[in-house]
Structure 1
Amino acid sequence: MVGIILASHGEFAEGILQSGKMIFGEQENVKAVTLMPSEGPDDLRAKLKDAIASFDNQDEVLFLVDLWGGTPFNQANMLFEEHKDKWAIVAGMNLPMLIEAYGARLSMESAHEIAAYILNAGKEGVKVKPEELEPADAGKTSGAGAGQSNAGTPGSFEYVLARIDSRLLHGQVATAWTKTVNPTRIIVVSDDVARDKLRKNLITQASPPGVKAHVVPVDHMIKLAKDDQHFGGQRAMLLFENPKDVLRAVEGGIPLKTINVGSMAHSLGKVQPSKVLAFNQEDIDIFNKLKQAGLNFDVRKVPNDSKANMDEILKKAQEELKKLK
């Protein structure tokens, strides 16, 4: 696996490392190296060497630095000169760039390949509102789903992920899961959100580059799923707020086989047997119905997490609910 070093003036590198962990999960062979006000170039170079020495593979190293020509860049460049056939440096580090690098490491084995791949993500992550402030060509995308709309092609949706997440389309979904399953469309399936103009607009604006986001009521999604004339080549990621909507979708004929359970918010009357999942009795009953319908459960927040056992979680939730009575 390619090792990644985040290098910056001050604690910026530490902060972006933490942000990346929140969105994409814990990462191996990634180090943050900081140049503090009391330190000089030699101190930073020593830190860079220590970080490289900690990697499993020291032949493939990617440096993400904050500023071209700054001390972190200059010191990384001094080390780079002896390894330019394998190592790479990218300046202008931002969070979209880092997340793209994490995803790329799953399939790419060279620092050069990843460096070239993440440049567009770093550029496309810089946006502005109001949109009219952007240059005329700034809206062009080259993300994973760009050029793959295939609208009107005969065929049905391919469902690459169906996820229960109270937060719907947020950072972990728009980055980690999107990079893993590579959808062309993200579809929020919810009657409540479809009626809420503000939430609907926020979701459609939060879609990652090159991927279209939509919000539709459950019954409308059932109709779309039965359309085998217009969605050929479309890779759909379905997002549900709760298991009740999933059950409606499945009973309505949407051919789902696995449900990714990522987040269920706590509220009055619910128990929380895991950090991110809260249940009332109706939730437990619905999951049991989904299981009887033949669905599998993939319980994890981000792709790198280990899968939790849904049967054990439901059993614990049932026991905790009994204690409340």
Structure 2
Amino acid sequence: MVGIILASHGEFAAGIKQSGQMIFGEQEDVEVVTFMPNEGPDDLHQHLEDAIAKLSDQEQVLFLIDLWSGSPFNQANLILADHEDKWAMVTGLNLPMLIEAYGSRLSMDSAQDIAAHIVEAGRDGVKVKPESLEPQAAEAPAAAAAPAQAAGALPEGTVLGDGKIKIGLARIDSRLLHGQVATAWTKSVQPTRIIVVSDNVAHDNLRKTLITEAAPPGVKANVIPIQKMIDIFKDPRFGTTKALLLFENPEDVVRVVDGGVELPEVNVGSMAHSEGKVMINNVLSVNQEDVDAFKHLESKGVKFNVQKVPTDSKANLDDLLKKSGLKGV
């Protein structure tokens, strides 16, 4: 039997499993993974691995995930990368989809066959009353307009717009592109492009692929090294681009700013805890190198706001850094 992993932010996965049991009865080989506010990506990854280990047979595994590009998606995608010949994942989990998956296991023994089959059930389960509110399918235009030529394909020296890239948001987030960025921040900033700026990630083909796959609909994601970001900032061919920049740490921001990229304000979202770091709130951990980087950026006129999502109130970074007990604060 195909094993099913239900994974979500918070207790949604546990709740929908209970709802599915009320309708379809008790199910074997269905495990729940919940990602809670006080946990990090490593915790979530381990929860997924533990859930897979509980399945009676790991030959065929189907992940049903709440949100494309969220943390459960990203961590499941890392695991799926080693099993793409047999395993599968579907996002946008809803109750019609789950019930169809349960029913499909009675006649299908392939996770990928079930995944392909249940997508339509998930879509069909989304309806509206009164029916007049149902969106009408738009007719395809007779001839689609040719997409704008990519800035990188234009001859050097070409000036688009005012010749200067617009940075809608620069954010430090060790998780990089995940649910909060792909949904809340993207909707708030409305960028035309999400750019992950990191030498480490730019040279890691697997992480690059996972990040570009996690881009929300209608927005392209790129992973570039730090020097490339400095070059792009000075390139007039990117004058019509509005970017959301993501950095893993403040040290990379220092290199970009020292290279000439103008960042008047930087959003500090999440910095994962690791050995030698001090927790200054529930999502931020710093060491002396981080503190020095923040202070260097402040000396360059960069301002900071600490916010997980746009609706949160802004916290003062200096006040938080004082809790670290490190030098320079």
TM-score range, shorter chain: 0.5 to 0.7
Q: Distance in 2 between matches of 1:299 and 1:219?
A: 26
8 A Cα contact 1:149 1:184, kept in partner: no
**8 Å CA contact retained: 1:66, 1:93:** no
In structure 2, which of residues 237, 249, 254 is the aligned counterpart of residue 247 of structure 1? Answer: 254
1:232 is displaced (CA, Å) by: 2.2
Indicate yes or no: 2:170 matched with 1:162. Answer: yes
* CA distance, structure 1, for counterparts of residue 203 and residue 229 of structure 2: 15
Residue in 2 aligned with 1:217? Answer: 225
User: CA separation in 1, counterparts of 2:203 and 2:290?
Assistant: 23
- Does the CA-based 8 Å contact 1:150-1:231 persist in structure 2? no
**Match for 1:195: what amino acid?**
H
Which AA in structure 2 matches 1:92? G
1:194, distance to aligned residue in structure 2 (A): 0.7
Q: 1:92 aligns with which of 87, 112, 125?
A: 125
Contact 1:270-1:279 within 8 A present in 2 as well: yes
1:297 correspondence with 2:304: yes
* Root-mean-square deviation over aligned CA pairs: 3.8
Structure 2 counterpart of 1:283: 290
Alignment match, 2:187: 179
Indicate the percent of aligned positions where both proteins have the same amino acid: 53
| Separation in structure 2 between the aligned mates of residue 281 and residue 176 of structure 1, nearest angstrom | 31
Letter of the structure 1 residue corresponding to residue 211 of structure 2: I
Gaps of 5+ in 1: 1-7, 23-64, 68-89, 95-110, 121-136, 138-146
The equivalences for 1:1-325 within 5 A come to 11-12=15-16, 92-93=125-126, 151=151, 152=154, 154=160, 155-228=163-236, 230-317=237-324, 319=325, 321=326
Distance 2:204 2:230 in 1: 20
Alignment partners' CA distance in 2, 1:184 and 1:158: 10
1:196-231 superposed Cα distances (whole Å, 9 cap, x missing partner): 111111111111111111111101110111001x11
AA aligned to 1:244 is E
Instruction: Give the Cα–Cα distance (whole angstroms) in 1 for the partners of residues 323 and 134 of structure 2.
Output: 45
Native 8 Å contact 1:148 1:184 kept in 2 = no
- Preserved contact between residue 150 and residue 234 of structure 1 (Cα < 8 Å): no
Deviation at 1:282, TM superposition (A): 1.1
> Do the aligned residues in 2 keep the contact of 1:258 with 1:297 (CA within 8 Å)?
yes
- SS for the counterpart of 2:290 is helix
Distance 1:149 1:288, change over 3 A: farther
Give the 3 Å change call, closer, same or farther, for CA 237–115 of structure 1 in structure 2. Answer: farther
Q: CA deviation at 1:92?
A: 3.0
State the distance in 1 between where 2:203 and 2:246 align.
16
User: Displacement of 1:148 after TM fit?
Assistant: 7.7
Asked whether the equivalents of residues 150 and 233 of structure 1 are also in contact (C-alpha less than 8 Å), the reply is no
* 4+ aligned runs moved over 6 Å, structure 1: 19-22, 147-150
- Paired residues, what number? 205
Match of residue 24 from structure 2: none
**Structure 2 alignment gaps of length 5 or more:** 1-11, 20-33, 38-93, 97-122, 141-146
1:279 to 1:148, Cα distance in 2 relative to 1, 3 A: farther
Q: Take 1:207 and 1:198, find their aligned partners in 2: how far apart are those partners?
A: 15
Change (3 A) 1:270 1:178: same
SS at structure 1 position matched to 2:262? coil
Write the distance in 1 (CA, Å) between the matches of 2:18 and 2:304.
34
Structure 1, residues 45-91: CA drift from partner, whole Å, max 9, x if none? Answer: xxxxxxxxxxxxxxxxxxxx956xxxxxxxxxxxxxxxxxxxxxx97
Q: CA–CA distance in 2 between the matches of 1:259 and 1:13? A: 40
CA distance in 2, matches of 1:251, 1:302: 27
What is the alpha-carbon distance in structure 2 between the residues aligned to residue 210 and residue 279 of structure 1? 34
Instruction: Determine the structure 2 residue equivalent to 1:29.
Output: none
Change (3 A) 1:21 1:264: closer
* CA deviation profile, 1:142-200 (whole Å, cap 9, x unmatched): xxxxx788735612210001000001011111111111101111111000001111111
**1:246 CA displacement:** 0.2
Please tell me the residue identity of whatever aligns with 1:215.
V
| Conserved 8 A contact 1:258-1:298 | yes
